[in-house]
Amino acid sequence: MDDKKTETAIFAGGCFWCTEAFFTELKGVEKVVSGYIGGTVPNPTYREVCNGTTGHAEAIQITYDPNLIAYEDLLEVFFATHDPTTLNRQGNDVGTQYRSEIFYTTDAQKASAENFIKLLTDQDIFGKKIVTKISKASTFYPAEDYHQDYYAQNPNQPYCMMVIAPKMDKLKKNYASKLKKKS
15 a catalytic residue: yes
H or E element, residue 117 = helix 107-122
* Cα–Cα distance, 138 to 179 (Å, whole number): 29
Q: Which of 15, 18, 50, 160 is catalytic?
A: 15
Neighbouring-strand partners of residue 135: 103
Helix 16-24 to helix 71-80 angle (10° resolution) is: 130
> What letter would DSSP give residue 178?
G
Amino acid letter at 19?
T
Active-site residues, by number, are: 15
